[in-house]
Amino acid sequence: MIRKKIAAIIKEAGDRCVQKGIFPPETEIKPIIEIPKELEHGDYSTNLAFSLARSLRQSPEVIAKALIERMDFEDVCTKVDVAAKGFVNFHVRDEVYRSALKDVVKQGVESFLPDVGEGRRVLIEFVSSNPTGPLHVGHGRGAAVGDVLANLLRKAGFDVVTEYYVNDAGRQIETLGRSVYLRWKEIRGENVEYPENFYQGAYIREIAGRMIAEGLPIPEEEPEAVRFMARYAAEVVLVGIQKDLEDFGVRFDNYYHERTLFEEGHVDGAIEILRKAGYLYEQEGALWFKMAEKGDEKDRVIIKSDGEKTYFASDIAYHSQKFARKFDILIDIWGSDHHGYIPRLKASIEALGEDKERLKVILIQFVTLLREGKPVGMSTRAGQFTTLREVMDEVGKDAARFFFLMRKSDAHLEFDLDLAKKTSNENPVYYVQYAHARIESIFRLAREEGIDLAEGSEADVSLLVLPEETELIKGILRFYTVIEGGARSLEPHRLTFYLVELVGSFHSYYNKVRVLKNEVSLTKARLTLLYALQQVIRSGLEIVGVSAPDRM
RNA sequence: GCGCCUGUAGCUCAAUCAGGACAGAGCAACGGACUUCUAAUCCGUAGGUUCCGCGUUCGAGUCGCGGCAGGCGCGCCA
């Protein structure tokens, strides 16, 4: 909110320079405002003078001075100066921060959230793991990123729908059915050869056993039995996945089944559109999509020569449906091993006549679990991958979610299981939660002394004169910048970084400054500051989906 | 072979809307702080050729080109 004021001040000064003929009339005043790293460089700065220097054929310093001379900054800043040969530095009045704090306390932290979305409709599709086995840690990371991004975008004014795409039509489901079928035969005493590419996990046998225990009417003939078991197993696995997700704090608005794409004719419909638009051709009995001319490496098959449609075909139909469902922005969250798929999907969206820029793909890099500093083996082939459930059981939901968001999603993540369980400042989750609990503890004692927080908004915040206090207020206000930046760049991990940093300055303040047992007016002022701080921490943790305990 | 991602302190990572001021944290190391609102905390010290080279620019960790190293992808698989 202060940033906007600074921007207005610069703009005004720039316009005046144009009016007075100091800058040529066509000069565009689009200031980039940043927060300097060095405190001495003020609260905000702009490099506008540098960017104008070339077109104005003037030194940045001269331009900067011309700007400042025509600047009305008194209301917001104590001083504005030129540094380092052209940077314009703004030193904001402490009162401005204090009154911003007052606004936040009075109206609530959330009432100042930036409206980035302006009501635009966003569909976030994530996890979308095939219902052929339990979720592993990689899916967990995707789930955390997707869920937190959804929370973040909602706070930032988007109309968000989350969706899980269930691949229940393809080959893998058939393999699942066959896997169960073989284990079923095995349990009944038959000798079977179990192929390596079948699902290896113990859950396959369990499902087979369960079918027997429940006395289900299993068809006589093998093809029917396989189909029956595929359906049954997919259902069981999906329910398990949903349970895992729920315990992980992730709830989807929608489950979209691939099968419905076929049943409702959307796959044929999409193919028809592409055919009419001239993107398809037949060769060697298969139907091909002309991709090479659309930016992909080569042409791709949509219908195989055996008549079966490829995964790609249903994906085109699915995304076509997403557009048909009137979403402004589509966000897909995939494992980074699918990155080669992006040009293909974007090309097909373009071919369907939609704007491919409206699809944003977020790639999730792999997770390496560490125990005692060593990577934990995760070979899928042996069926001994680490499941999300195991990690959750071991470190808890809060730590798991927080840890998944401690790196930007396209970077490898090392997940230190021992660290996630530690209850010390080394563990960022506890570090943040502890700050929340600590503040609450101060409030409890204050109440015992008869100082009620409800009076907080009447406190005299002008008593908050310590530099640490101004820094804390700045930290609180930065929440809005982080939400805005995170929503714009689709980077939910910024939130965890922010929280750790914010809370760090609180712990430091706590050790240095007494809140209670001062003059009542000063105590109240400081309680007010902590009140706003706690609200921000709680709101931030809520977005991340981590609990904010009152006691630890 | 071609394409995408990554390379920053011993380790794990930052560096804000695609270039800004002296590259910042945490951990580990070392030295300190509990008769005080929760020590699950804090304060201090030390730690760097931002993988290498060239280029663009007033200015490069950031942009371009060329290397080097690692990960991933390039199927009528899903």
- 3-state SS string for A352-379: CCCCHHHEEEEEECCEEEEECCEECCCC
pLDDT band at A39 (very low <50, low <70, confident <90, very high): confident
d(CA A380, CA A7): 54
- The residues of A between 377 and 406 with beta carbon within 7 Å of nucleic strand B are 406
**A317 beta carbon to strand B: under 7 Å:** no
**A53 beta carbon to strand B: under 7 Å:** yes
Residues A121-176: tens digit of each pLDDT: 999 999 999 999 899 888 999 999 999 999 999 999 999 999 999 999 888 899 99
Collect all residues with Cβ–Cβ distance below 8 Å to A275 and sequence separation of at least 6. none
Average pLDDT on A254-277 reads 94
**A255 beta carbon to strand B: under 7 Å:** no
- The residues of A between 101 and 160 with beta carbon within 7 Å of nucleic strand B are 130
**A57 beta carbon to strand B: under 7 Å:** no
Q: Quick one: what percent of chain A has pLDDT higher than 90?
A: 52
CA A475 to C1' B23 (Å) is: 22
Phi, psi at A27, each rounded to 5°: -60, 130
d(CA A443, CA A306): 71
Specify the nucleotide whose C1' lies closest to residue A550 (CA): B38
Residues A80-113: tens digit of each pLDDT: 988 767 889 999 999 999 999 999 999 999 988 9
**A37 beta carbon to strand B: under 7 Å:** yes
d(CA A371, CA A365): 19
Q: What is the pLDDT of residue A17?
A: 87
Domain ranges of chain A: 2-92, 98-117+425-544, 171-247
**A34 beta carbon to strand B: under 7 Å:** yes
Element (H, E) at A4: helix A2-19
Average pLDDT on A354-370 reads 86
d(CA A236, CA A230): 10
d(CA A177, CA A170): 11
**A172 beta carbon to strand B: under 7 Å:** yes
Collect all residues with Cβ–Cβ distance below 8 Å to A18 and sequence separation of at least 6. A24, A25, A27, A29
β-pairing verdict for A254-257 and A159-166: parallel
- The residues of A between 204 and 223 with beta carbon within 7 Å of nucleic strand B are none
Q: What is the pLDDT of residue A368?
A: 83
Task: Return the DSSP state at A383.
Answer: T
- CATH number given to A98-117+425-544: 1.10.730.10
Compute CA A107 distance to the chain's CA centroid, rounded to the nearest angstrom.
27
The label of the residue with tokens 């790196």 reads A407
Specify the nucleotide whose C1' lies closest to residue A429 (CA): B40
| Residue A38 amino acid letter | E
**A342 beta carbon to strand B: under 7 Å:** no
Residue nearest B74, CA–C1′ metric:
A340
Q: What is the pLDDT of residue A365?
A: 83
Its ipTM equals: 0.90
Residue A183 confidence (pLDDT) above 50: yes
Q: What is the pLDDT of residue A458?
A: 77
d(CA A110, CA A89): 29
Residue A377 confidence (pLDDT) above 80: no
Specify the nucleotide whose C1' lies closest to residue A422 (CA): B40
**A51 beta carbon to strand B: under 7 Å:** yes
CA A53 to C1' B57 (Å) is: 13
CA A229 to C1' B78 (Å) is: 20
Phi, psi at A343, each rounded to 5°: -55, -40
CA A107 to C1' B24 (Å) is: 34
Residue A439 confidence (pLDDT) above 90: yes
Phi-psi region of A490 (alpha: psi -120 to 50; beta: other; left: phi over 0): left
Pick the CATH number of A2-92 from 3.30.1360.70, 3.30.300.30, 1.50.10.20, 3.40.50.970: 3.30.1360.70
Q: What is the pLDDT of residue A454?
A: 59
CA A505 to C1' B36 (Å) is: 20
**A305 beta carbon to strand B: under 7 Å:** yes
Average pLDDT on A174-184 reads 94
Q: Report the SS3 class of residue A255.
A: strand
d(CA A494, CA A17): 38
Specify the nucleotide whose C1' lies closest to residue A167 (CA): B78
Q: What is the pLDDT of residue A313?
A: 94
Q: What is the pLDDT of residue A337?
A: 84
**A407 beta carbon to strand B: under 7 Å:** yes
Collect all residues with Cβ–Cβ distance below 8 Å to A319 and sequence separation of at least 6. A330, A345, A348, A349, A352, A359
Q: What is the pLDDT of residue A457?
A: 63
End-to-end CA distance of chain A: 34
d(CA A380, CA A129): 14
Q: Inter-axis angle of helices A428-448 and A397-404, to 10 degrees?
A: 120
Q: What is the pLDDT of residue A238?
A: 96
Specify the nucleotide whose C1' lies closest to residue A505 (CA): B42
Element (H, E) at A161: strand A159-166
Q: What is the pLDDT of residue A82?
A: 87
Residues A480-524: tens digit of each pLDDT: 888 988 888 888 988 998 999 999 999 999 999 999 988 889 999
Collect all residues with Cβ–Cβ distance below 8 Å to A515 and sequence separation of at least 6. A442, A446, A523, A526, A527, A530
Lowest mean pLDDT among A23-37, A327-341, A457-471: A23-37
| Residue A121 amino acid letter | R
Residue A215 confidence (pLDDT) above 60: yes
Q: What is the pLDDT of residue A383?
A: 40
Residue nearest B58, CA–C1′ metric:
A50
Q: What is the dihedral of CA A202, A208, A211, A213, to 10 degrees?
A: -70
CA A425 to C1' B30 (Å) is: 19
Specify the nucleotide whose C1' lies closest to residue A488 (CA): B17
Average pLDDT on A371-397 reads 72
pLDDT band at A455 (very low <50, low <70, confident <90, very high): low
3-state DSSP percent of chain A in helix, strand and coil, to 5: 55, 15, 30
Q: Report the SS3 class of residue A331.
A: strand
Which nucleotides of chain B have an atom under 7 angstroms from any protein CB? 3-6, 12-17, 20-28, 33, 36-43, 58-59, 71-78
Q: Inter-axis angle of helices A137-155 and A397-404, to 10 degrees?
A: 80
Residue A381 confidence (pLDDT) above 50: no
d(CA A396, CA A389): 10
CA A178 to C1' B58 (Å) is: 69
